[in-house]
């Protein structure tokens, strides 16, 4: 009987699968941190339990070593994405940060991640470009190890105002980034995670998906409703592979996403909690959905909207 491998990031997949002798040419069976690379983790005999918050990999000798989870975050250079990167790093994640244009902002977030003691790589890319998505995931796997998590966060609001006044190019760009970009990133994550024992995906939705955002950006609300449906459908499609898929649905959050910087405060009167949210509050919800504590949660849309 061959050695057993406990696959995946703890809480994502608790299935054990039989494997034969490790082949050095197979990345998923010979990740960084093996006998060809410096081992930073403590190697201990497997005691029958999964170590909380860490990826557990089998060694040919029967010993197991713990790895920190590796999470890809798109749109990680500012706002909610930046807060997610720093929060996850504090929870022990190594981060692959995808960004579109602001290298200085991405570098600043990467430095904040490294100050927590975790690793971070940054990749300039566009989530609507298949080659860029592949480059982000390949860099993450090569530099940090097998990807265990994806936070689909990159997004654009598009034109604001009534739909009747919106230009077609702006509408197409918004749908391309907010829907197609999410699908491309999730597709790559599923392909990788299904080969390495599972993982978790968190899609950034919006309370606009159910509120509709009339007079502001109906097209954005429609795109986020598509994200909710994608989350539910994909969660069922990939559950057997040990992959969980959930979404966080923020309300009005104080970030530079808004065309009108005063919008969060202007909207406070219509929020039951009486204030706009902070990026760190959304990041906390994302961190929970990626954690062991959410191991039985999949297909969920977690609303973080102050009661709206």
How much is the pLDDT for 133? 99
Alpha-carbon gap, residue 83 to 11, rounded angstroms: 23
Average model confidence (pLDDT) across the chain: 83
The reported pTM is 0.79
Mean pLDDT of 65-86: 91
Supply the residues annotated as catalytic.
220
- Distances 161 to 255, 266, 297 between C-alpha atoms, Å: 19, 16, 36
How much is the pLDDT for 259? 56
How much is the pLDDT for 264? 84
Contact (CB, 8 A) for 54 and 66? yes
Q: Point out the least confidently predicted range of 56-60, 97-101, 218-222.
A: 56-60
How much is the pLDDT for 260? 59
Q: In the chain, pLDDT over 70 holds for what percent of residues?
A: 77
Mean pLDDT of 191-202: 98
Binned at pLDDT 50, 70 and 90, residue 255 comes out as confident
pLDDT at 95 over 60: yes
Q: In the chain, pLDDT over 90 holds for what percent of residues?
A: 72
pLDDT at 114 over 80: yes
For the chain, how are helix, strand and coil distributed in percent, rounded to 5? 40, 20, 40
User: Which residue in the block uniquely carries the two structure tokens 């760009």?
Assistant: 173
Alpha-carbon gap, residue 27 to 242, rounded angstroms: 19
> Beta strand 55-58 with 63-67: parallel, antiparallel or unpaired?
antiparallel
SS3 41: coil
CATH C-level class of 70-304: alpha beta
Q: Point out the least confidently predicted range of 58-62, 204-208, 223-227, 260-264.
A: 58-62
Six-digit token string for 187: 């597709």
Binned at pLDDT 50, 70 and 90, residue 67 comes out as confident
pLDDT at 171 over 80: yes
- Counts of helices then strands in the chain (DSSP H, E): 9, 12
Binned at pLDDT 50, 70 and 90, residue 8 comes out as very low
Alpha-carbon gap, residue 223 to 304, rounded angstroms: 18
Domain boundaries, the chain: 70-304
For residue 280, with 0-12 CB atoms within 10 Å meaning exposed, 13-18 middle and 19 or more buried, which class applies? middle
């Amino acid at each position: 009987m061959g050695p057993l491998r406990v696959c995946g990031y703890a809480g994502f997949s608790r299935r054990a699968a039989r494997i034969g002798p490790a082949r050095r040419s197979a990345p998923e069976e010979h990740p960084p941190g093996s006998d060809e690379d410096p081992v930073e983790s403590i190697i201990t005999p497997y005691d029958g339990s999964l170590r909380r918050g860490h990826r557990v990999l089998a060694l040919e000798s029967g010993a197991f070593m713990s790895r920190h989870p590796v999470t890809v975050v798109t749109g990680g250079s500012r706002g909610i994405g930046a807060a997610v990167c720093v929060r996850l790093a504090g929870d022990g994640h190594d981060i692959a940060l995808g960004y579109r244009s602001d290298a200085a902002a991405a570098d600043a977030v990467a430095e904040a991640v490294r100050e927590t003691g975790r690793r971070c790589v940054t990749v300039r890319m566009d989530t609507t470009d298949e080659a860029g998505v592949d480059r982000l995931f390949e860099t993450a796997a090569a530099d940090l190890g097998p990807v265990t998590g994806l936070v689909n966060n990159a997004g654009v609001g598009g034109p604001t105002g009534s739909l009747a006044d919106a230009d077609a190019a702006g509408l197409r760009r918004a749908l391309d980034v907010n829907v197609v970009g999410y699908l491309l990133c999730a597709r790559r994550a599923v392909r990788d995670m299904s080969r390495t024992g599972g993982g978790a995906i968190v899609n950034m939705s919006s309370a606009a998906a159910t509120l509709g955002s009339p007079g502001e950006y109906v097209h954005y609300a429609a795109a986020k409703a598509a994200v909710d449906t994608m989350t539910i459908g994909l969660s069922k499609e990939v559950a057997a592979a040990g992959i969980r898929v959930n979404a966080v649905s923020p309300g009005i959050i104080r970030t530079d996403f808004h065309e009108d910087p005063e919008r969060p405060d202007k909207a406070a009167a219509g929020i039951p909690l009486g204030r706009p949210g902070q990026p760190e509050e959304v990041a906390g919800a994302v961190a929970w959905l990626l954690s062991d504590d959410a191991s039985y949660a999949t297909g969920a849309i977690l609303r973080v909207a102050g009661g709206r």
